[in-house]
Amino acid sequence: MAPTALWMVCVLVYPVYVTIRNSLHAVGAGFDPHPAFVGFRNYAALLADPIFWHSVRVTALFTLGNLLGSFGLGLLTALLLHERFRGRPLARTILLLPWALPQVAAVVVWRWLLQVQYGALNYVLWRLHLVATPSIQWLVRPNLGLYAVLMAAVWWQYPIATTFLQAGIESVSVDLYEAAGIDGANGWQRFRHVTWPGLGHVRNVLLLMLLFWSLGQVIIIWTLTGGGPARATQTLAILVYQRAFSDFQFGSAAALATIVLTLALVIGVLYYRLTLQPVREA
């Protein structure tokens, strides 16, 4: 216990302390050992910066898309896997496999799928007459960048949602289904009145986890689009990195990081209440 606590202090509390300290100082590229104290000027500059607000918007859109996409696909696949059908183990493996890929490998595959001239996605969409031209520039056009990133992110992320929801569905009492069957409920009614309410707790925990995974999703965004095209996928987490390692404005990056940390803390409190509290009261 104690060594772990000590370790976490070193690798978590100290970095957070450094971040907050830097956010109150004018830290530039040179890592001046005694930077000038500037109070909340870094924060004020951020709040006046349209790039910051654009990034907030992108983060919200990405989070919403990733949340809905992963949850929706997760729910669909969890319901499919809940059935006992022939070939279920194979289907299960196929459906869960995307998550086993390293994120960068997933990105490489999606880059190739989304390739302008020879990409499979453009070809399939074109052959299905869903688009007029077989050369959509997914990674170049600013209005499409977010969709491209979301496709890859949801594809990689949703198996976790499947797993959670499957565990949740399994825990719903079989008696309830039988009762619903006796009452003559159809598939939709059973889902609406038995499965969905039965998922309550699992669903809430999952949604919160998807929320912070969306905020923390950086590898896929960074390697697929680098925050582009034209800042279209520049979430807060990406902006922090760019402020620091592209612009070398470490003070500004630290202020931004502190804002993100606060956000994580809020979600953390919610999550904590949701998972640990009921046990304590019981």
Partner 1 sequence: MAAWRPARTARGVLFYAGTALVCAIVGFPIYWMVTSALEPGNLFNFPPQFFPSHPAWGNFTHIFSVNPLGRWLANSLFVAAGTMICSLGLGVHAAYGLSRFRSRPVDALGFLMLVGQMIPVTVLTIPFYILFRSLHLINTLTGIVIATTTFSVPMCLWMLKGFFDSVPRELDEAALTDGCTRLTALYRVILPAALPGVVAAATFGFMLGWNEFFFASTFLGTETKWVATVGLVTYMGQYFVEWSALMATAFVITVVPAILFLATQRYMMAGITQGAVKA
**Residue 55 makes contact with partner 1 by CB under 8 A:** no
Contact (Cβ atoms closer than 8 angstroms) between residue 234 and residue 54: yes
Q: Which is nearer to partner 1, 56 or 108 (CB)?
A: 108
**Residue 254 makes contact with partner 1 by CB under 8 A:** yes
Choose, by CB under 8 A, the member of 164, 229, 233, 234 that binds partner 1: 164
**Residue 65 makes contact with partner 1 by CB under 8 A:** no
For residues 94, 97, 98, 101, the Cα torsion angle rounded to the nearest 10 degrees is -150
Compute the least distance from the CB of residue 269 to partner 1, in Å. Answer: 8
**Residue 272 makes contact with partner 1 by CB under 8 A:** yes
Binders of partner 1: how many residues, by CB under 8 A? 102
Largest CA distance in the chain: 75
**Which residues fall within 8 angstroms of residue 42, CB to CB, at 6 or more apart?**
23, 24, 26, 251, 252, 254, 255
Compute the least distance from the CB of residue 195 to partner 1, in Å. Answer: 10
Choose, by CB under 8 A, the member of 19, 66, 225, 233 that binds partner 1: 19
**Residue 180 makes contact with partner 1 by CB under 8 A:** yes
Measured distance between the N- and C-terminal CA atoms of the chain, rounded to whole angstroms: 25
Q: Which stretch binds partner 1 (CB under 8 A): 34-42, 45-53, 62-70, 81-89?
A: 81-89
- CA 153 – CA 73 distance, rounded (Å): 12
Site for partner 1 in 228-247 (CB under 8 A): 236-238, 240-241, 244-245
Q: Which is nearer to partner 1, 26 or 209 (CB)?
A: 209
H or E segment and range at residue 138 = none
Whose tokens are 């992320």? That residue is 157
Q: Which is nearer to partner 1, 55 or 143 (CB)?
A: 55
What number of residues does the chain have? 282
CA 255 from centroid of its chain's CA atoms: 22
